């Protein structure tokens, strides 16, 4: 009797959870099939399935809406940022966790304090700075603040994760004659895989979706990223929803792909890095 | 262990050196580019006669998405393309940001660092603040220099774009924010033959439509501006008359707690209580209110003249049955019932920096994108113009646009609340209207709240 009750309880619990999941996944599914509808169909009924699925919206978004230029610049920005953030944060994190030197705590605190600054407080000062330094509206403009903003969290995660890795590992490598570079890249980095994928996903997501800097710091069409490009599908008073949705599907695909590739590691990395530190 | 430490320090040093070298490379390149830029600006400031190789660059920012076929934006772009053909010495560089909120975020950032574009679209309400901070240039000088140009505009065209007696932008269209689009077939089915002329008849009509199981007025007020801009701006004027609003605008003693204004809030709430609107009005937007109308589930909706195009693009049988009207007169109202809220709303403004050095070029471009030829082109698309156009080809205009133009020619424009009032007051009012419509606040309370905010920012 008890086991039946607990079984029923499990089912009820599962059903509730499934319903919750549906509320999360439904918007994505809705965007997916709505992007296959014509504008008229959408205007008449926003929930119904497409009568005859068509890919016109994708053509509009990608070719006529010039989504491909936004794609290229988004990919450039995200990949460069993720790569450099991991490279720099790993080096800094390694040094901060393995060596005790004067000013170590100061440097660490300085980086961590960076997490506290809200992005919107930076926009105007950064804009002025970039304008004066001649960094405004270049192909590398966005990469600079992106790296700077993603660094603190990445350093924090690396630092606390590397702390949990036994120092004996380094010492053993040293005894065997490994150089510092070799120890970092071949011994410690592979151990850091879980936290590495956490940082990779977080940095990629943040960069891919970043809006305020991309809006303000670049002007030229070719340097614009997808989030800013998506605003092109809004009119002053009307919105072309179906094309916008096709564009959205295109823009969330890479995120979903990156997430699926690394998602197994992300939870492991989150807990491993944060709690033991 | 000591050696390990030493090595660590070495790595740190190497890293920091590498970083500074990287940074150094960047700045070196910049220095070169900067000096090049400096040279080119120097060349601009002292144009040698005959040196046509250095065209003047005019930056132009607008909020029209690039591939959008909205009437005004296509006409402006056509005008610009023509202009480029005839003026090789001026290059207009356009930057478009389709989303209003994003657009104004960027404009405000640029204003804060005095880098506003040479020409950009700006709302009247934002303009007043930019003018106060001297971020935008007064355009009286170039307008007065060409009297024919200035006098070509319709009478109240500059009203929204003037601050402290100076004109800060030239209008590119006159739009009305209040037009009632109604389905005459639904009205006839409900036994209403002509659109009501009095408030009492209006309410009877609402009841009749409601009795048929159809939503009388579709309202999508999720983004909060619809109820205020498209309904209250006109409804308020019906009760208070324009003098009251001028008193508010110029701080001359009028109050939001004045009985006339409270009456207009009460009238709006009355409509809400009578079930004139769809129940989910606060969770759908103005595009979705049109969806209700297109489905035949609503008898009318209130939006600006910009919705004409959307209605014509909607389902044929609905578009064919659509007529336009404005709110009827109200009992004891001080306003003219033959009026609707409207105006230029926004216009082309010019940043102080660019205007200072490139005045002539700015004036030329402005004329091209707001003057007679441009106005003719938008008139032929059925858009209300800010510039007087006498003869244009009406055959190209959609039937609904002709109906609107006929109605508009008999009506006066009254101020749109959100294009004059301080943004803080507007956002209090807008948020309050949502509550008012679902009766969680009384008209008196809302009036007090708006008045308090108004006094705070005065």
Do the chains contact at A99 and B30, CB–CB below 8 Å?
no
Indicate yes or no: CB of B70 within 8 angstroms of CB of A40.
Answer: no
Which of chain B's residues have a Cβ under 8 Å away from the Cβ of A226?
Answer: none
The candidate with the shortest Cα–Cα distance to A143, out of A152, A135, A132, A131, is: A135
Give the tens place of pLDDT for each residue, B187-238.
999 999 899 999 999 999 999 999 999 999 999 999 899 999 999 999 999 9
Where does the pLDDT of residue B10 fall: very low under 50, low under 70, confident under 90, or very high at 90 and above? very low
Distance CA B383, CA B393 (A): 13
What percent of chain B has a predicted confidence (pLDDT) above 90?
A: 44
Are residue B213 and residue B292 in the same domain, yes or no? yes
Low-confidence ranges of chain A (pLDDT < 50): 273-277
- Which residue would you say has higher pLDDT here, B456 or A271? B456
ipTM over 0.85: no
Residues of chain A in contact with residue B378, where contact means CB-CB under 8 angstroms, are none
Please list, in sequence order, all residues whose beta carbon lies within 8 angstroms of the beta carbon of residue B270, skipping any fewer than 6 positions away: B203
For chain B positions 55-94, those within 8 Å of chain A (CB to CB) are: 63-68, 70, 73
Q: Are residues B293 and B147 in the same domain?
A: no
Instruction: Please give the tally of structural domains in chain B.
Output: 2
Alpha-carbon gap: A161 to the closest alpha carbon of chain B (Å): 18
Residue A11: per-residue pLDDT: 92
pLDDT of residue B329: 92
B22 pLDDT exceeds 50?
Answer: no
Q: Which domains does chain A have, with CATH numbers?
A: 59-276 (1.10.3720.10)
Residues B164, B199, single domain; the answer is no
More confident residue, A166 or B344: A166
A180/B70 Cβ within 8 A: no
Q: Which of A7-21, A238-252, B21-35, B265-279 has the lowest mean pLDDT?
A: B21-35
Measured between CB atoms, which of A43, A134, A174 is closest to B33?
A134
Query: In this predicted structure, what is the pLDDT of residue A259?
Result: 83
| Per-residue pLDDT, B183 | 94
- Please determine, for residue B51, whether its predicted confidence score (pLDDT) is greater than 50: no
Position A42 scores a pLDDT of 83
Looking at the fold, whether B260 and B370 belong to one and the same domain comes out as no
In whole angstroms, what separates CA A193 from the centre of its chain? 17
Q: Tokens for B448?
A: 């007090």
User: Which residues in B lie closer than 8 A to residue A238 (C-beta atoms)?
Assistant: 70, 287, 306, 309-310
Answer yes or no: are the C-beta atoms of A85 and A145 closer than 8 Å: no
Distances (CA, A) of A182 to A155, A243, B167, B170, B393: 20, 50, 69, 66, 78
Radius of gyration of chain A (CA): 23
Question: Is there a contact between B65 and A234 if contact means CB atoms under 8 Å apart?
Answer: yes
Model pLDDT, residue B420: 82
Closest-CA distance, B411 to chain A, in angstroms, reads 23
Judge whether B416 is closer than 8 Å to chain A, CB to CB: no
Give domain status of residue B272, yes or no: yes
pLDDT score of B345: 77
Report the largest interatomic distance among the alpha carbons of chain A, rounded to a whole angstrom: 76
B371 and B281 in a common domain:
no
Residue B321, domain extent: 176-342+416-457
Query: Are B441 and B432 in contact, with CB atoms under 8 Å apart?
Result: yes
Tokens of B86: 């005839």
Residues of A within 8 A of B290 (CB-CB) are 43
B289 and B306: one domain? yes
Task: Say if the Cβ atoms of B11 and A95 lie within 8 Å.
Answer: yes
Residue B422, domain member (yes or no)? yes
- For residues B370 and B423, membership in a common domain is answered with no
Residue B96 scores a pLDDT above 90: no
Find where tokens 């007696």 sit: B165
Tokens found for residue B268: 């709006």
Q: Which of chain B's residues have a Cβ under 8 Å away from the Cβ of A99? A: 5, 8-9, 12
Of B456, B409, B414, B448, which is closest to residue B432 (Cα–Cα)?
B448
**In chain B, what's the furthest Cα-to-Cα distance?**
98
pLDDT of residue B129: 85
CB within 8 Å: A234 and B33? no
Q: Give chain B's mean pLDDT.
A: 84
B194 touches chain A (CB under 8 A): no
Interface contact A65, partner B, CB < 8 A: yes
What is the CATH number for B84? 3.40.190.10
Q: Name the strand (E) or helix (H) holding B41.
A: helix B2-45
- By percentage, how much of chain B surpasses pLDDT 70? 88
Q: What is the pLDDT of residues A71-92, one digit of tens each?
A: 999 999 999 999 999 999 999 9
Same domain, B219 and B295: yes
Instruction: Please answer whether residues B280 and B289 qualify as being in contact, where contact means their C-beta atoms are separated by less than 8 angstroms.
Output: no
- Determine the residue among A48, A232, A241 to mutate to test chain B binding: the one whose Cβ has the most chain B Cβ atoms within 10 Å: A232
A20 — contact with chain B (CB < 8 Å)?
no
Cα angle value B63/B65/B68 (rounded, 5°): 130
Asked if residue B15 has pLDDT above 60, the reply is no
Nearest by Cα to A89 from A236, A249, A202:
A202
Identify whether residues B421 and B306 lie together within a single domain. yes
The token duo for A176 is: 């065997």
Residue at B366 is within a domain: yes
B28 band by pLDDT with thresholds 50, 70 and 90: very low
Interface membership of A122 toward B (CB under 8 Å): no
Average pLDDT of B280-294? Answer: 90
Q: Who contacts A199 (Cβ-Cβ below 8 Å, separation ≥6)?
A: A85, A86, A89, A153, A154, A157, A158, A269
How many CB atoms sit inside 10 A of residue A18's CB?
A: 9
Higher-confidence residue of B49 and B381: namely B381
Distance from CA of B100 to the nearest CA of A (A): 7
Average pLDDT rounded to a whole number, residues B351-375: 91
Asked whether residue B375 carries a pLDDT value surpassing 60, the answer given is yes
- Secondary structure of chain A in HEC code, one letter for each residue: CHHHHHHHHHHHHHHHHHHHHHHHHHHHHHHHHHCCCCHHHHHHCCCCCCCCCCCHHHHHHHHHCCHHHHHHHHHHHHHHHHHHHHHHHHHHHHHHHHCCCCCHHHHHHHHHHHHHCCHHHHHHHHHHHHHHHCCCCCCCCCHHHHHHHHHHHHHHHHHHHHHHCCHHHHHHHHHCCCCHHHHHHHHHHHHCHHHHHHHHHHHHHHHHHCCHHHHHHCCCHHHCCHHHHHHHHECCCCECHHHHHHHHHHHHHHHHHHHHHHHHHHHHHHHHHHHHC
Q: What is the DSSP letter of B258?
A: S
Whether residues A131 and B112 touch (CB distance < 8 A) is answered with: no
Any domain includes B428: yes
The two structure tokens encoding residue A197: 């994928």
Same domain, B183 and B169: no
Q: Indicate if B120 and B61 belong to the same structural domain.
A: yes
Q: Determine which of B113, B179, B304 to mutate to test the interface with A (most A C-beta atoms within 10 Å).
A: B113
CA distance B335 to chain A (A): 28
Instruction: Please check the confidence at residue B270 and state whether its pLDDT lies above 90.
Output: yes
Tell me, yes or no, whether B13 lies in a domain: no
Q: What is the pLDDT of residue B139?
A: 93
Same domain, B256 and B366: no
C-alpha radius of gyration, chain B, whole number = 26
Lowest-pLDDT choice from B151-160, B275-284, B346-355:
B151-160
Quick one: pLDDT at residue B137?
93
Which of A39, A43, A219, A227 should be substituted to probe chain B, the one whose Cβ sees the most B Cβ atoms within 10 Å?
A43
Q: Where do runs of H (alpha helix) occur along B146-194? A: 147-151, 184-189
Q: Is the dihedral of CA B66, B70, B76, B81 positive or negative?
A: positive
pLDDT at B55 over 60: yes
User: Which three-class secondary structure state does DSSP give residue B278?
Assistant: coil
Count the residues in chain A. 277
Interface contact A43-B9, CB threshold 8 A: no
Chain B residue at shortest CA distance from A88: B15
Position B137 in a domain: yes
| Token digits of residue A208 | 């891919």
In a domain, B244, yes or no: yes
pTM score, two decimals?
A: 0.69
């Amino acid at each position: 009797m008890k086991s039946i009750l607990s079984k029923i309880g499990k089912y009820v619990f599962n059903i509730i959870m499934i319903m919750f999941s549906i509320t999360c996944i439904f918007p994505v599914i809705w965007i997916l099939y709505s992007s296959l509808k014509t504008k008229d169909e959408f205007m008449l009924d926003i929930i119904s399935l497409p009568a005859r699925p068509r890919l016109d919206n994708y053509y509009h978004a990608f070719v006529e809406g010039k989504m491909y230029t936004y794609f290229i610049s988004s990919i450039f920005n995200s990949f460069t940022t993720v790569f450099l953030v991991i490279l720099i944060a790993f080096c800094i994190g390694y040094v901060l966790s393995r060596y005790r030197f004067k000013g170590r705590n100061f440097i660490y605190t300085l980086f961590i304090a960076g997490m506290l600054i809200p992005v919107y407080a930076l926009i105007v000062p950064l804009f002025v700075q970039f304008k004066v330094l001649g960094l405004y509206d270049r192909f590398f403009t966005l990469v600079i603040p992106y790296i700077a903003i993603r660094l603190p969290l990445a350093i924090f995660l690396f630092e606390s994760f590397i702390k949990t890795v036994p120092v004996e590992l380094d010492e053993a490598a040293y005894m065997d004659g490994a150089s510092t570079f070799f120890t970092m890249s071949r011994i410690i980095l592979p151990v850091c895989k879980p936290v590495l994928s956490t940082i990779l996903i977080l940095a990629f997501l943040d960069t891919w979706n970043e809006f305020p800097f991309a809006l303000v710091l670049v002007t030229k069409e070719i340097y614009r990223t997808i989030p800013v490009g998506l605003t092109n599908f809004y009119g002053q008073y009307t919105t072309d929803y179906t094309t916008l949705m096709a564009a959205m599907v295109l823009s969330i695909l890479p995120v979903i792909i990156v997430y699926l590739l690394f998602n197994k590691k992300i939870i492991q990395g989150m807990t491993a890095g944060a709690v033991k530190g | 262990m000591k050696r390990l430490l030493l090595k660590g320090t070495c790595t740190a040093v190497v890293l920091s050196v590498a970083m500074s070298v990287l940074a150094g490379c960047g700045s070196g390149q910049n220095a070169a580019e900067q000096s090049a830029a400096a040279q080119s600006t120097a060349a601009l400031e002292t144009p040698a006669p005959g040196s046509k190789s250095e065209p003047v660059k005019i930056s132009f920012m607008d909020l029209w998405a690039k591939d959008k076929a909205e009437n005004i934006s296509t006409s402006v772009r056509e005008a610009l393309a023509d202009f480029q053909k005839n003026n090789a010495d001026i290059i207009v560089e356009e930057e478009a940001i389709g989303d209003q909120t994003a657009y104004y975020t960027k404009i405000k950032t640029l204003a804060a660092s005095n880098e506003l574009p040479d020409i950009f679209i700006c709302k009247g309400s934002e303009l007043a603040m930019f003018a106060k901070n001297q971020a935008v240039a007064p355009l009286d000088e170039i307008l007065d220099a060409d009297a024919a140009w200035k006098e070509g505009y319709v009478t109240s065209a500059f009203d929204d774009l003037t601050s402290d007696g100076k004109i800060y932008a030239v209008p590119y269209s006159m739009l009305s924010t209040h037009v009632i689009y109604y389905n005459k077939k639904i009205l006839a089915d409900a036994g209403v033959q002509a659109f009501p002329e009095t408030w009492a008849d209006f309410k009877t009509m609402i009841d009749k439509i409601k009795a048929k199981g159809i939503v009388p007025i579709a309202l999508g007020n999720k983004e909060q501006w619809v109820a205020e801009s498209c309904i209250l701006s006109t409804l308020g004027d019906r009760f208070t008359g324009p003098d009251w609003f001028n008193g508010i605008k110029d701080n001359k003693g009028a109050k939001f707690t004045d009985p006339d204004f409270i009456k207009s809030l009460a009238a709006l709430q009355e409509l809400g209580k009578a079930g004139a609107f769809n129940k989910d009005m606060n969770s759908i937007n103005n595009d979705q209110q049109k969806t209700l109308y297109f489905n035949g589930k609503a008898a009318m909706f209130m939006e600006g003249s910009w919705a004409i195009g959307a209605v014509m693009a909607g389902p044929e049988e609905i578009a064919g049955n659509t007529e336009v009207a404005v709110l009827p007169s109200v009992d004891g109202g001080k306003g003219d019932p033959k009026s609707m809220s409207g105006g230029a709303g926004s216009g082309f403004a010019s940043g102080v920096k660019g205007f200072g050095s490139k005045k002539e070029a700015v004036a030329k471009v402005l004329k091209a994108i707001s003057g007679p030829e441009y106005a003719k082109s938008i008139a032929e698309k059925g858009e209300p113009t800010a510039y007087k156009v006498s003869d244009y080809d009406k055959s190209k205009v959609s039937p609904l646009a002709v109906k609107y133009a006929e109605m508009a020619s008999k009506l006066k424009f009254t101020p749109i609340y959100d294009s004059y009032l301080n943004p803080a007051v507007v956002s209090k009012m807008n948020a309050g209207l949502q509550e008012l419509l679902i009766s969680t606040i009384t008209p008196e309370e809302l009036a007090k709240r708006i008045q308090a905010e108004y006094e705070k920012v005065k």
